[in-house]
Amino acid sequence: MSGHSHWAGIKHRKAAQDAKKGVAYQRLTKNIIAAAKAGGGDPNANFSLKVAIDRAKEGNVPADNIERAVKRGAGNLEGITYEDVTYEGYGPNGIAVMVETSTDNRNRTAPEIRSLFTRTGGAIGELGCVAWNFERKGVISITGNGIDEDELLSAAIDAGADDMNESDDGFEIITEPSVLSAVASSLKEAGYIVSNAEVMMEPKTTIQVKTKEEAEKMLNMVDRFEENDDVQNVYSNFEIPDEILADLG
């Protein structure tokens, strides 16, 4: 089993910040868009989409917003054509950053992303400059108390998963993207709480930040990108040690 996921800790800390910033709806609808884009717009056939919709409902996202997000992800919004564009670059100290966007106007999005890289202490790079260090994986979050680690691992492997990581509030099941929905559905049927299921870009190697200031710069960069309407996902290979993460509060 892989080690504790520091990035999971960062995500949970950021979740509380997002609510304060008033962008919680945007995060939840982006998850719906990404899930519909990856597996289609039918939640009965796309478990990741079902989970994303359930989370949005729990977050009080209006039904119209949810429906629009599903249609956008599935490509069913009339009169609007979105294209997926990924931008690659570097954060402070050469940390790899990948920014996935879905845009109806590349001429608007490209300069905005370039400017954000510069304003947050990084630099945009050429296509492929950091993509080699990432691989696409399905990630299923299992939460709850009293989970037997060995039983969960056995159930996950039997369902087709590749690996399992410990996270702050449970476990993360790692799969190939093609079996993400099937594995998540199987684990739910086995009685586990599936709090999230999505396809992510996992770094092959990571860079550990050495100071609180460096961690704050990287988290600020991620925040600024995710606040952009066209940005769907931001991936990076930085890792924050527990002592610095605790100091960040």
pLDDT tens for each residue of 26-72: 778 888 998 898 889 999 989 889 999 998 998 888 999 999 999 98
- Domain 83-132+205-242: CATH architecture, name and number where available: 2-Layer Sandwich (3.30)
Is it true that 83-132+205-242 and 133-203 share their CATH fold? yes
Domain ranges of the chain: 6-74, 83-132+205-242, 133-203
- 139 touches 170 (CB < 8 A): no
What's the CATH fold of domain 133-203?
Alpha-Beta Plaits (3.30.70)
Q: Three-class SS of residue 100? A: strand
Per-residue pLDDT at 1 exceeds 80: no
Select the CATH number that applies to the domain covering 6-74 from these four: 4.10.91.20, 2.115.10.20, 1.10.10.200, 3.40.50.300: 1.10.10.200
CA 101 to CA 186: how far, in whole Å? 31
Total Cβ atoms within 10 A of residue 60: 9
CA 236 to CA 226: how far, in whole Å? 13
Nearest residue to 124 (alpha-carbon basis) of 79, 85, 66? 85
Four-residue CA torsion sign, 165, 186, 136, 78:
negative
Name the packing angle between helices 212-226 and 6-21 (round to 10°): 60
Q: Strands 207-208 and 238-239: what pairing?
A: parallel
CA 218 to CA 83: how far, in whole Å? 27
What's the pTM?
A: 0.78
| 135-178: pLDDT as tens digits | 999 999 999 889 999 999 999 999 999 999 988 889 999 999 99
